[in-house]
Amino acid sequence: MKICTQTERFDKFFGIEETVELLAKAGFDSLDYSMFFPLDSGVLVMSDDELAEKYTKLRKLIEDHGMYVYQTHTPFPTWTGDDERDEVIFRAEVKALYISSLLGARHAVVHPPIIRENRYGSMAKENKELAVRVYSRLIPYLDKYNVKAAVENMFNWDNEKKCICPTVCSSSEEMADYVDTLNSLCGDCVNGERFVACLDVGHANLVGEKPVGDMVRTLGKRLKALHLHDNYGKSDDHTAPGFGNVDWKGFAEGLIDIGYDGDFVYEADNFYNHFDPELMPDAAALLCKIAHHITDKYGLDAALK
């Protein structure tokens, strides 16, 4: 199974060119390119020609180091409720989808919009209607750039109980419904259905409605993107497997049952918070080794060839 990791933290400390070199040396096969950039300056306001020049070079650099971009992550939040700001966000999302295409990514993780008051499914209907409006605007660009949007499971905050709580797509059933509903709107797309699921295993451990392996089974063939990290079910720690209580065995069994055909994708960059920058490459190599241990120990390498 190919091992992938996000670029965000390394890019912040080392710049993207050195990030590519360091993550390749750490043993990773592929990248989840993070685009958590300012929305109204820099990369996300470049012309398409400027982006093509920049990201064609970056793709070549990545491939020259024996890697590829498996998926990307577009900016978030994807909606604020302020019409003027939401137009800025929309334009940035379109640019991010173009960048995803230039990098050869299969999928771009695009967060569903979250109505702030939607906790425990209290505004599920209204939130789905909003999500359909937000995602629908992206469909022509998803088709044009031949990239699929991955819908992620999210969480919210309960101010009274002072804890993380369920919200949009926290359940695998709602995630599956979102993906199916959005794909039903892609009838005119030249490149077919444009939506898949991204299961964030850490979020699932916080607010998932069932064991993570069963969430995987519910998503089935919709599941093409992953965010893998660990926590103890209290806070969104985004750390390495083994530093929490995620059921990695159950998760792996779910992947085997559905015949998952994608990469093992880390979103565990907070693990690096424990290390000085000089030690981050060693920490990345350890992360990669942990991933290989999981895929070997639980039979993913043997079952998902």
Q: Structural domains in the chain?
A: 3-303 (3.20.20.150)
- Rounded to an integer, the average pLDDT of 251-276 is 98
Q: What is the CA radius of gyration of the chain?
A: 18
| CB burial string 93-131: b at 16+ within 10 A, e below | bbbbbbbbbbbebbbbbbbbbbbeebbebebbeebbebb
Cross-strand partners of 151: 197
C-alpha–C-alpha distance, residues 233 and 163, integer Å:
10
Full-model pTM: 0.97
Confidence of residue 305 (pLDDT cuts 50, 70, 90): confident
State pLDDT tens for residues 149-200: 999 999 999 999 999 999 999 999 999 999 999 999 999 999 999 999 999 9
Contact between 129 and 79 (Cβ < 8 Å): no
Average pLDDT, the chain: 98
State pLDDT tens for residues 97-133: 999 999 999 999 999 999 999 999 999 999 999 999 9
Instruction: With H, G, I as helix, E, B as strand and everything else as coil, classify residue 198.
Output: strand
Residue 9 pLDDT > 90: yes
